Amino acid sequence: GAADEFRPGQWIRDVWRFAKDDPKRVIFALKVGLAVLLVSLLILFRAPYDVFGTNIIWSILTVAIMFEYTVGATFNKGFNRALGSIAAGVFAIAVMQVAMSSGHVAEPFVIGFSIFLIGTVTSFMKLWPTLTQYEYGFRVTLFTYCLIVVSGYRMGTPVKTAMDRLYSIAIGGLVAVLVNVLIFPIWAGEQLHKELVNHFNTVADTLEAAVLMTECVKKYLADDGTDRPEFDKTVMDDFADEPAFRKCRTTLNSSAKLDFFANSAKWEPPHGRFRHFFYPWCEYVKVGAVLRHCAYEVMALHGCLHSEIQAPYNLRIAFQPEIQDATNQAAELLRSLGKDISNMKRGLQTTLLKRLHSSTERLQRSIDIHSYLLTTTHHEYSSPKPPSKPLDLPDPTQNPVPPTIHRAESYHETMRKQQKRLYSWPSREVDEFGEEGGFGGGDGGEMIRRMRALESTAAMSLATFTSLLIEFVARLDHLVDAVDELAKMARFKEEEI
Amino acid sequence: GAADEFRPGQWIRDVWRFAKDDPKRVIFALKVGLAVLLVSLLILFRAPYDVFGTNIIWSILTVAIMFEYTVGATFNKGFNRALGSIAAGVFAIAVMQVAMSSGHVAEPFVIGFSIFLIGTVTSFMKLWPTLTQYEYGFRVTLFTYCLIVVSGYRMGTPVKTAMDRLYSIAIGGLVAVLVNVLIFPIWAGEQLHKELVNHFNTVADTLEAAVLMTECVKKYLADDGTDRPEFDKTVMDDFADEPAFRKCRTTLNSSAKLDFFANSAKWEPPHGRFRHFFYPWCEYVKVGAVLRHCAYEVMALHGCLHSEIQAPYNLRIAFQPEIQDATNQAAELLRSLGKDISNMKRGLQTTLLKRLHSSTERLQRSIDIHSYLLTTTHHEYSSPKPPSKPLDLPDPTQNPVPPTIHRAESYHETMRKQQKRLYSWPSREVDEFGEEGGFGGGDGGEMIRRMRALESTAAMSLATFTSLLIEFVARLDHLVDAVDELAKMARFKEEEI
């Protein structure tokens, strides 16, 4: 059964690729092995064991628990461990003084109550939003306190035991830190830096994929007439751009990861390219948030393209050059921002931004000039009215003006033909109308009115696409500002011109 | 200095409110206190201590490490701990057989190498994406293995030590589980259930807030003429709906939280309202993902409202009733879905969905009928053309047709007046034009062309708003499907009619 599904060859290849994708993974694993080996040597050799006795096993525990992927996270855990242990030690000594002076009968009650109290207080405190990042520290405080107090009460030599244990914990921590920092260190700051740059590229890719998708649909629609039932499948599953969107979804869900890296990076000393103290890691998080804000717009674009209604082929092809141009500019700006961050340069981006704005403006003007296309069947309403005073519109539900249908017949024909290949919208409702039939179902006028509403939405989907693109560009302004702020605070070097 | 900022009264009130907001927090804290107290009693009393010796302190460690907020997370950690310990024990016994048979000189080398190997392999495995959730288990395997092997080598009584330790860990685990399950249990499933329902309400609130916001802006714009410099501040900071958007952002970043709860909930036995085995917790995660997909659209709506260009007052007020209606229907549907999940009922939602679709359709038709308003200044282009054949459009960049400006003067006047209170878009560019001046700055025609592009975008922003709303409604279809799937798999009871 299960043995049939287990293919060792495939499995080994997967593991190999996983390791090759990011050799840091292998380095990390080897480092952990080395650290536990080093600390075990302390026990395998006789000398340290003779000094510390069985307490030396705490150094193993410390290494296994403290060793994290990045230097910053290891420091963070070490700090939590150290502070937690110290706090526990101070409490324990204080309480034991009280307990011993309270007499032989009361002593266990004092100890028991203090344990209950410490357990309750630390557990409540670690739920406090700003303290959740020190969760591990509270845990350490709790169990260290219990260990010291209880073993002090039972074994009698609290200070000696506590000190031996503290030394072995310190030895374990030292080994973990030294191995982590000195041998191929993996810096959380570097990871954060790369992660953010990747997100820039992902958003740029997704944006380009979105427009590539309109291309694909265009190409598909170009061979008119043939009936392909697998259309929906093609759109949903196989398009080459889907990976881009999946990656974009990762970007959208990246906040926790960026927060974690930034939190870890704060603990790291200046290193590599991040040479000054108090490097503004939290600015990376802010830039990430603004980038995500831009990505929402891209996801809405995605929705626009995946939606059941598409603008007619003619419309889309009419504005294709402008859309293409604006998108390329926007993607280029994103990539350039990412590259600047990656190289820690402070490019001013004014040229790119200006070019992007002017190409967006061109798209806007083009939509503006050809906007009659978006409302093509409604020329009977186009007589100029003065819209500057409050409009007195007829309520369409009260007074449904019957639209003139005879003029737009040929357009309807095309639409109806295309309809086969478009999703019906809203799919559910169409089914219901099909089933019910009674509610004006046989009435051709009602049907055509529905069709026209659909057409109008189809044309509007282009307007939406454009508006979203423009809004995206507007948000890029904020992104440029955020990156600029980061560049200023992180003292990226000015680009030489 | 710092003492001035520390106000005990305020602080106590904050803590009190934090505890009152969710009394489960206090319950959890008291439970931890109780669990560590119980396990400490094992040592404070003489009998268990006499049996297990110093190894009994492992039960304290186990409680402190295993006790988690929810039952599921505690079980998960317990499982990790148990399986990790067992795996470590098996490895250790196997390796020690090999080591002992390899002779006195080779023994430490065999042990050292095995430690290095286990450290490397477990660390590499826990990076594997599907295994990251068992991260703690790998850690436990590592340190337990080291402890058994090393103390076996040094102290000679590996089996007795290991067994004593295993018993005390088992006792600690049992105490942690019993206290967690028997005294006011906090179920991860229940939390997940509530969290998801909250997200439904948040998205509904945000949607309504968005439309309320158009109301607010409308109200503001209603008192025409007066110049208020604090407009931007009001829009950005003080609006009553901002909390809704902030909450919505939490919803968007909720994937990690939902995953964690679902992962924990899998470990819980049937309980409370979730009475059958293999309850489909992962369906909750799927519904959450679809809901987030809807929320992207709401965030785009938010962007539409916060953007620097707004549709003119007249336009917005014209479509206000339809927009209001559609939004209310959508919010109602969302709330009803949330309520159904909350009550574990299987409502069919057909009525609501049908009503929502018809009101969306009404909005669409209304936009359709009055679409001339969106392109109001371009009647010279409105002569009917046959759009069924490929359009041969003039390239606007090659051949910029000068728009007829004289007819739309009065509209321009109004726009210019409103301009003061609208943000300029894109702010950067406008500044640049102000600075440059040379590039057609003095030319009135160029200026007016820019103005017109702005107007058109302003009108289009309404179309975008509508399209986004419609797309949101289309996504609600998927949401209804996802909720239906959840209801089916979780065997929610059918609603009696």
For A171-220, what is each residue's pLDDT tens digit? Answer: 889 999 999 999 999 999 999 999 999 999 988 888 887 776 655 554 44
Extract the tokens encoding B24: 């489960």
Specify whether the CB–CB gap between B348 and B481 falls below 8 A: no
Min distance A201 CA to chain B CA atoms (Å):
20
The answer, yes or no, to whether the previous bond of A23 is cis (omega within 30 of 0) is: no
Q: Is the minimum CB–CB distance between A474 and chain B shorter than 8 Å?
A: yes
Residue of B118, B142, B186 to mutate for A, most A C-beta atoms under 10 A: B142
A-chain residue closest to B455, CA distance? A368
Confidence of residue A241 (pLDDT cuts 50, 70, 90): very low
Give the Å distances, CA to CA, from B271 to A322, B268, B443: 59, 8, 75
Question: Residue A108 pLDDT > 80, yes or no?
Answer: yes
Q: What pLDDT shows up at residue B35?
A: 92
Is A391 within 8 Å of B143 when comparing Cβ atoms? no
Q: Who among B117, B256, B378 is closest to A33 (CB)?
A: B117
Confidence of residue B459 (pLDDT cuts 50, 70, 90): low
Question: Residue A92 pLDDT > 60, yes or no?
Answer: yes
Q: Is the minimum CB–CB distance between A444 and chain B shorter than 8 Å?
A: no
Confidence of residue B405 (pLDDT cuts 50, 70, 90): very low
Q: Is the minimum CB–CB distance between A130 and chain B shorter than 8 Å?
A: no
Q: Is the minimum CB–CB distance between A368 and chain B shorter than 8 Å?
A: yes
Between B175 and B472, where is the model more confident?
Answer: B175
Task: Determine phi and psi for A346, rounding to 5 degrees.
Answer: -110, 80
Question: Residue A445 pLDDT > 90, yes or no?
Answer: no
Confidence of residue A420 (pLDDT cuts 50, 70, 90): very low
Q: Who among B61, B256, B388 is closest to A414 (CB)?
A: B388
Identify the CA nearest to A371 among candidates B453, B375, B412, B392: B375
Confidence of residue A344 (pLDDT cuts 50, 70, 90): confident
Q: Which of A278-292, A382-396, A479-493, B351-365 has the lowest mean pLDDT?
A: A382-396
Residues 213-252 of A with CB under 8 A from B: 252
ipTM reported for the complex surpasses 0.85: no
Mean pLDDT of A360-380: 63
Mean pLDDT of B280-300: 87
Residues of chain B neighbouring A391 (CB-CB closer than 8 A):
314-315, 317-318, 373
Is B139 within 8 Å of A30 when comparing Cβ atoms? no
Q: What pLDDT shows up at residue B225?
A: 38
Q: Who among B117, B139, B425 is closest to A474 (CB)?
A: B425
B-chain residue closest to A161, CA distance? B54
Confidence of residue B493 (pLDDT cuts 50, 70, 90): confident
Is B384 within 8 Å of A373 when comparing Cβ atoms? no
Q: Which residue has the tokens 């219901």?
A: A432
Q: Which amino acid is at B209?
A: A
Task: Determine phi and psi for B346, rounding to 5 degrees.
Answer: -110, 80
Between A332 and B496, where is the model more confident?
Answer: A332
Confidence of residue A75 (pLDDT cuts 50, 70, 90): very high
Cβ neighbors of B310 (< 8 A, separation 6 or more) are B217, B316, B422, B458, B461
Min distance A176 CA to chain B CA atoms (Å):
13
Is B426 within 8 Å of A303 when comparing Cβ atoms? no
Q: What pLDDT shows up at residue A196?
A: 92
Between the ranges A242-246, A415-419, B65-69, B302-306, where is the mean pLDDT highest? B65-69
Q: Which of A120-124, A409-413, B123-127, B277-281 has the lowest mean pLDDT?
A: A409-413
Q: What pLDDT shows up at residue B125?
A: 92
Between A32 and B224, where is the model more confident?
Answer: A32
A-chain residue closest to B368, CA distance? A456
- C-alpha to C-alpha distance for B123 and A35, rounded to whole angstroms: 12
Q: Is the minimum CB–CB distance between A370 and chain B shorter than 8 Å?
A: yes
Min distance A274 CA to chain B CA atoms (Å):
26
Confidence of residue B4 (pLDDT cuts 50, 70, 90): low
Is B466 within 8 Å of A473 when comparing Cβ atoms? no
Q: What pLDDT shows up at residue B22?
A: 87
Q: Who among B112, B370, B385 is closest to A44 (CB)?
A: B112
Mean pLDDT of B35-56: 78
Is A390 within 8 Å of B317 when comparing Cβ atoms? yes
**Predicted TM-score (pTM) of this structure:** 0.76
Confidence of residue B29 (pLDDT cuts 50, 70, 90): very high
Between B10 and A238, where is the model more confident?
Answer: B10
Specify whether the CB–CB gap between A279 and A490 falls below 8 A: yes
Q: A267-288: per-residue pLDDT in tens?
A: 888 888 888 788 888 889 989 9
- C-alpha to C-alpha distance for B72 and B271, rounded to whole angstroms: 11
Mean pLDDT of A128-146: 88
Is A369 within 8 Å of B353 when comparing Cβ atoms? no
Q: Which amino acid is at A39?
A: V
Q: Who among A370, A390, A477 is closest to B428 (CB)?
A: A477
Is A60 within 8 Å of B143 when comparing Cβ atoms? yes
Three-state SS string over B463-476 comes to: HHHHHHHHHHHHHH
Q: Who among B34, B65, B395 is closest to A116 (CB)?
A: B34
Give the Å distances, CA to CA, from B46 to A161, A199, A461, B64, B323: 20, 60, 78, 22, 75
Confidence of residue B157 (pLDDT cuts 50, 70, 90): low
- C-alpha to C-alpha distance for B17 and A59, rounded to whole angstroms: 41
Question: Residue B227 pLDDT > 70, yes or no?
Answer: no
Residues 181-210 of A with CB under 8 A from B: none
B-chain residue closest to A458, CA distance? B467
Residues of chain B neighbouring A364 (CB-CB closer than 8 A):
453, 456-457
Min distance B342 CA to chain A CA atoms (Å):
25
Q: Is the minimum CB–CB distance between B367 and chain A shorter than 8 Å?
A: yes
Q: Who among A32, A461, A470 is closest to B119 (CB)?
A: A32
Is B367 within 8 Å of A456 when comparing Cβ atoms? yes
B-chain residue closest to A402, CA distance? B369
Confidence of residue B431 (pLDDT cuts 50, 70, 90): very low
- C-alpha to C-alpha distance for A446 and B367, rounded to whole angstroms: 17
Q: Which of A202-206, A448-452, B338-342, B471-475 has the lowest mean pLDDT?
A: A448-452
Angle between helices A71-101 and A57-66 (to 10 degrees): 130
Is A303 within 8 Å of B296 when comparing Cβ atoms? yes
Q: Which of A267-281, A461-475, B186-200, B281-295 has the lowest mean pLDDT?
A: A461-475
Q: Which of A73-82, A425-434, B8-17 has the lowest mean pLDDT?
A: A425-434
Confidence of residue B295 (pLDDT cuts 50, 70, 90): confident
Q: What pLDDT shows up at residue A41?
A: 84
For A341-362, b/e burial (b = at least 16 CB within 10 A) is: bbeeebbebeebbeebbebbbb
Mean pLDDT for all residues in chain B = 73
Residues of chain A neighbouring B251 (CB-CB closer than 8 A):
none
Q: What pLDDT shows up at residue A218?
A: 47
Residues of chain B neighbouring A351 (CB-CB closer than 8 A):
none
Three-state SS string over A311-353 comes to: CCHHHHHHHHHHHHHHHHHHHHHHHHHHHHHHHCEECCCHHHH
Q: Is the minimum CB–CB distance between A136 and chain B shorter than 8 Å?
A: no
Min distance A403 CA to chain B CA atoms (Å):
9
Q: Is the minimum CB–CB distance between A38 and chain B shorter than 8 Å?
A: no
Min distance B234 CA to chain A CA atoms (Å):
19
Q: Who among B32, B33, B318 is closest to A393 (CB)?
A: B318
Q: Who among A29, A44, A151 is closest to B120 (CB)?
A: A29
- Distance from chain centroid for Cα B144: 37
Confidence of residue B28 (pLDDT cuts 50, 70, 90): very high
Percent of the residues in chain B that have a pLDDT greater than 90, as a whole number: 14
Min distance B26 CA to chain A CA atoms (Å):
7
Mean pLDDT of B383-407: 36
Residue of B62, B67, B116, B417 to mutate for A, most A C-beta atoms under 10 A: B116
Residues of chain B neighbouring A365 (CB-CB closer than 8 A):
396, 449, 453
Q: Is the minimum CB–CB distance between A398 and chain B shorter than 8 Å?
A: no
